[in-house]
Structure 1
Amino acid sequence: MKTLDEWLAYCEQLHPATIELGLERVRAVASRMGLRFDCPVITVAGTNGKGSTCAMLEAILREAGWRTGLYNSPHIAHFEERCRIRGEMAEAADLVAAFERVEAARGDVPLTYFEFTTLGILDLLMRAELDVAILEVGLGGRLDAVNIIDADCAIITSIDIDHAELLGDTREQIGLEKAGIMRAGKPVVVSDPVPPQSVLDRAAELGCDLWLLGRDFNYQGDQLQWAWAGRGRRYAGLAYPTLRGANQLINAAGALAALDALRQRLPVTAQAVRIGFGLMDLPGRFQVAAGEPVLVFDVAHNPHAVAALAANLEAMGSFLMTHGIFGAMADKDLDAILARMDPLIDRWYFTDLPTPRAASGRELEARWRAVTQRKGAGAEVFTSPMAAFEAAAARVQPADRIVCFGSFYTVGGVLKDGVPDIYAGRHGNVGAHR
């Protein structure tokens, strides 16, 4: 394998399962590679809000002058998005070199795609002479490959039911899996407003320094600005984060709590906080493209995230018509997602996705017809997200909006070359303006 694409294709066929939770195999290979971090590590787990929280931490810490490394997943359009060093996406050649080191150490140990690529990115970050590493957990926490690295501060964002077949079908069970990233005596920030008791019990069992939203830190805001207060530290008159949506203040509050908990090792100034919140770039999180018609992109793919998306859409005001492009994995709570979004969508564009885990566009349409309360509502089915987008673009009027949401494959399938030019789309030639 010489190119990144060749390595990624190789990784996909190394293990018979797409997901196999457990740390023994990954730990064995990591030990052979000598994987360890000499800098503080912040690990972020949760059902929703992980990526946003990581982006906020990165932006503030970089503005404070620290050399940051970030691992997040999955990516929107290009694999290199998963690794950022000092704010820059990793180079494909550097990832190839890291994957070669993983392969040399692996021997006959079977690794999944996620495990193999996680080891490669951790190796790349370890060699980057960082001041701080920010690691987003892929799935769960306790048995996720990221958890081979000990967190100096753990953050647990919102907890809801997702991946029930792997993590459990109650918030208490899922919370215990997320709590697996905690380390004895270390700070743990919980930004879920109503955390499961299992999370609190595990923190107490380990003697963690537990930071709870509403007890150890809080926030409030008005239409113009917001404020945060923690254990003896306050920030007032903050501009809202560039990541849109009311739910982002909860993520921002958790990020500030983590920075407060680590202030002895990673001090940041109030100026860095103020500027950092204005410098974030995270595609696909209630991303609203400028201009008319309005384009909204959101990787909401479970009921909790979709509820936040719906609330944000409702707060945008009225539109002549809303076109909804949707594709998702078959194991999601599709009925709940469709029922919540259906009152907001005037015409649906259901799409196939390029993965066997996905529900087909036809399956999504059938599920929607079973839950919709509207007679005569329109829907079409497409073979790809871009085909669905082109169809919506051909029909949309300036006073309309297009909402593209669901799986990362759905949003990434449209954003792979940047935000599409809606007017070029009317002529069957969707380009990209930057």
Structure 2
Amino acid sequence: MSQLSKSGRLGFNSLSAWLTHLESLHPKDIELGLDRVKLVFNQLNLDFSASKIVLLAGTNGKGTSCHLLQQILTQHGYQVGCYNSPHIHDYRERVTLDNKWFSEQQHCDVFAQIEAARGDTPLTYFEFGTLAAITMLAQAKPDFILLEVGLGGRLDATNIVEPDLSIITTIDIDHKDWLGDTRELIAKEKAGICRPHGKTICGDFHPPVSLQQIAQSLALDISWQLVDFNFTVVEDKWHWHSKTLSFDNLPKPNMPLQNASTVLAALEKLEITIDEQKLVSCLSNYQLAGRWQKIHSQPDLFLDVAHNPESVKYLKKQLENTVTGRKKVAVLGMLKDKDIFASLELISAMFDSWFLADINQPRGAQAETLKSVLVDNLKVDAGKIQCFSSITQAKSAAIAESSSDDLVVAFGSFWVVTDLLETISQKEL
């Protein structure tokens, strides 16, 4: 139910009402481009002079890198604001200050501010939310503002700001309809977050030539993984070094070391003096929801947001590191615009049985579609596959039909993690 606020501007009574309003503003979920966002952004007249801004782009690793960077900076006494997407449980997860949510009322107030500033300018749900998040963080004036790019980089709404540091975590093929179908094309879109002579980190092991050319043309102050910084693994520890700094015998965090290495390079580029004891504490205690997260025992049930070939490769490594001889059970749901075949081709041989689920969202794939890929293209025995109308049904069936020493892995989409973590909050597991 809408109402008029005291200022005479359109407002709503609750965050849920505002979010419903945001969903109605634009006919498309995604419409890349900065022209409309820039019109509204200029009206806001935000002051970032108190904060250093870090933009994080990449096919995978943005969320984990952002979270670890926030934790380390906070441990070192800095105030840090973050914007991440998508959320798992609650929209307020997207915007944090020192890892704490803003209140529902604060979100409502800033949404009203964006609504007034946009006038007749149409904004997508993501664009409106991004402008609101940037406004909240600018007004809080933290030492650092970390912004996770939503899609691509060059035309993403987060790219409206001027970063003090740009981070490109990894580059792989995803969102082909929007970013192109080669790593060279996708790299150009990611590189859109870089600025002439700007400080930049590239965490990719094999950066495309197009990115190297852009770095040269923009005269970037860039550090490259495997060239300017690197890491090695020795048993259960890892070592990191750059040309001027090194850390030995670090604990392995619950994230790809490629991304942890990128974060250390970012801290060096930001000229942060790292306390090794605080670094060890952050690495030891690192956990981000939905990233190889254990939520159930006997049988063990792990959640992972792996949803494209690159992230599935990492999930495969996690599976290979588990105790051999255990029966492995997959609970899977995916979006239809993902590269389903390439993702499942990497991991289809790892599982003994499959519990497939519909993703009941506009972009969601049907379980029968996933089954067709597994059976027709990857020659998985149809007798090992069951289909369900929801992730929670697939999970329940997988748990019920597994023995106590089996390993169940639910993956394929953020929606998988969202639905299953909600069952925990409702004490259904």
TM-score (norm 2): 0.94
Residue identity in the other structure for 2:330: G
Which residue of 365, 374, 380 corresponds with 1:368? 374
How far 1:162 moved relative to its partner? 0.5
Which residue of 91, 99, 102 corresponds with 2:111? 99
2:267 matched to which residue of 1? Answer: 259
1:33 aligns with 2:48: no
The CA deviation string for residues 53-107 of structure 1, in whole angstroms up to 9 with x for no partner, is 1011001000000000111111122211111111112322221211111111111
Partner secondary structure for residue 217 of structure 2: helix
How far 1:22 moved relative to its partner? 0.4
Partner secondary structure for residue 39 of structure 2: helix
Cα distance between partner residues in 1 of 2:215 and 2:232? 26
Compared with structure 1, are the counterparts of its residues 420 and 311 closer, same or farther at alpha carbon in structure 2 (3 Å cutoff)? Answer: farther
Is the 8 Å Cα contact of residues 64 and 272 (structure 1) preserved in structure 2? yes
1:414 aligns with 2:420: yes
Partner secondary structure for residue 343 of structure 1: helix
The CA deviation string for residues 228-266 of structure 1, in whole angstroms up to 9 with x for no partner, is 11131111121111x24xxx1110110000110111xx4
The CA deviation string for residues 160-179 of structure 1, in whole angstroms up to 9 with x for no partner, is 11111110111000000000
1:294 aligns with 2:300: yes
1:183 aligns with 2:195: yes
Residue identity in the other structure for 1:365: K
Compared with structure 1, are the counterparts of its residues 27 and 343 closer, same or farther at alpha carbon in structure 2 (3 Å cutoff)? Answer: same
How far 1:376 moved relative to its partner? 4.7
Is the 8 Å Cα contact of residues 374 and 380 (structure 2) preserved in structure 1? no
Compared with structure 1, are the counterparts of its residues 103 and 380 closer, same or farther at alpha carbon in structure 2 (3 Å cutoff)? Answer: same
1:387 matched to which residue of 2? Answer: 393
1:269 matched to which residue of 2? Answer: 275
Cα distance between partner residues in 2 of 1:150 and 1:223? 41
Partner secondary structure for residue 256 of structure 1: helix
Compared with structure 1, are the counterparts of its residues 419 and 337 closer, same or farther at alpha carbon in structure 2 (3 Å cutoff)? Answer: farther
1:4 aligns with 2:15: yes
Partner secondary structure for residue 416 of structure 1: helix
2:344 matched to which residue of 1? Answer: 338
Partner secondary structure for residue 284 of structure 1: coil
How far 1:110 moved relative to its partner? 0.3
Compared with structure 1, are the counterparts of its residues 375 and 325 closer, same or farther at alpha carbon in structure 2 (3 Å cutoff)? Answer: closer
Cα distance between partner residues in 2 of 1:136 and 1:366? 34
Which residue of 24, 27, 32 corresponds with 2:35? 24
Residue identity in the other structure for 2:281: I
Residue identity in the other structure for 2:402: V
- Comparing 146-155 and 379-388, the one that deviates more: 379-388
Over 3 Å off, 4+ runs = 374-377, 417-421
TM-score (norm 1): 0.92
Q: Percent identity?
A: 38
Consecutive unaligned residues in structure 1, runs of 5 or more: 422-429
Compared with structure 1, are the counterparts of its residues 128 and 267 closer, same or farther at alpha carbon in structure 2 (3 Å cutoff)? Answer: farther
1:249 matched to which residue of 2? Answer: 257
The CA deviation string for residues 344-374 of structure 1, in whole angstroms up to 9 with x for no partner, is 1222111112311111122222222212334
How far 1:36 moved relative to its partner? 4.0
Compared with structure 1, are the counterparts of its residues 237 and 103 closer, same or farther at alpha carbon in structure 2 (3 Å cutoff)? Answer: same
Cα distance between partner residues in 2 of 1:108 and 1:398? 58
Partner secondary structure for residue 338 of structure 2: coil
2:6 matched to which residue of 1? Answer: none
Is the 8 Å Cα contact of residues 41 and 134 (structure 1) preserved in structure 2? yes
Cα distance between partner residues in 1 of 2:321 and 2:64? 20
Residue identity in the other structure for 2:192: G
